[in-house]
Amino acid sequence: MGREYIEVVVPGDASSLTGTVAVVNSVLRHTNQSVRFHLVVPHQTVTILRQWLDGIPDSRLHYQIIAFPERLLKLADNDVESAQVFLAGILPTNITGRVIFINNDALVQGDIAELQQVPVAVHSFGAFLLDSQSETHADLADKPLYSQQVNMMNRFVHKRHIKGTRVTFSGGVFVANMKYWRHTHAHRSLVAWLNIHKRMSIVGPSPSATAHRAAMLLTFYGRVSVLPPEWHLRGLGECQMCPILPPEWHLQGLGVSEATPYSESFVRSHKLIRWSGHLKPWMPNTPYRNLWLEYAIPDPIRKP
C-alpha cells in the first residue's frame, strides 16, 4: 500500500510565484505529516517554479506542477485564483478524497493535518469560511450576501431560486470533498455557469465580485460545511476595511491601528492567515509583511 498524502493545491502566476513557494514552505514548517502539493500555474512559469522550489530546505517536499489548461484559464479571464473552480478538471482522476485549496496570498501557521480533518458533511462540497464569521468587517458596498456577489437579474440565476439575503462563503481557502465534486459533476456545472457569463453576466454589483466566484457560489449553494475561523483569517490586504475590535484589545496595548487592523499577536494566533485584497505580502509596505518574510524563499533568478 502506497503512502497516504495530505493533498494541497496552491495556484500561482508569473507575478505571484513567490507567494506560492512561501505557502508550500509554511505548510512544511508546521507539520510532520506527508504532504503532496499540486501547484497550478500557467505553462510558461513551470520551469522557474521548479527552480524556485529547489530553494526550500526540506527533503520532505513532494509536488507536481500542473500547467493550467489554457482553455480553462481563458474561461476565467486569466485569473489563476480560478483554479479553485476547476479542481475536478485539473487534478488527477485518482484523487477522490479530501483536497485542501490555499490561495497563494496566504500563510499556514498551524498543522495542515488539523485542517485536513475538519468536519465535512457527506452531501457537502467542502468546508468553507462563511463570510458572516470572518474577522473582517465588510463595508456597505461589499456586504457578504449573494445579492452583492451574484447577478440576481440573470434569468438563469433566477431559475435557481437563490435567496439574495443568504450569506456567502469564501473560496480562498477550503477543504474540498472531491468524491462529492466528481459524483455531482461539479466541474461541468461550474464551467456551464462561466459559459453563461460570457453571454449574460452572473456577476453581482460588489467591487470584489468575479465570474469564477459567482459560479462557485451558484453551484455550491446550500451545500457547504463550515470552516473554523481560526483556519482562515482573511483581509490582511484590505486595510480600508479595518474592523472595530473589542475595547480590551486596545486596553491590552496590542498595537491595533488603522494601518494594521489587527495586532501582530492576534494574527500569529491564527492557524492560517491571508492577505485577501489589493495588498499582497510580497509587495513593499504591506501590513504584516514581516510574518510572510519568515517563509519567503529568494527568487532564483533575481538573487542579490
pLDDT for position 272: 98
Burial class (CB in 10 A: 0-12, 13-18, 19+), 154: buried
pLDDT for position 140: 43
As given in the structure block, the three cell numbers for residue 75 are: 474561461
pLDDT for position 131: 83
pLDDT for position 246: 41
pLDDT tens per residue across span 66-83: 999 999 999 998 999 999
> What pairing do the DSSP bridges indicate for beta strands 98-102 and 169-177?
antiparallel
pLDDT for position 2: 59
Intervals of the chain under pLDDT 50? 1, 137-141, 240-258
Hey, what's the torsion of the CAs at 45, 50, 54, 55, to 10 degrees?
Answer: 10
pLDDT for position 135: 54
As given in the structure block, the three cell numbers for residue 245 are: 475590535
Query: Domain 6-231, CATH 3.40.640.10 — does that match?
Result: no
pLDDT for position 139: 47
Residue 158's contacts (CB-CB under 8 Å, 6 or more residues apart) are: 152
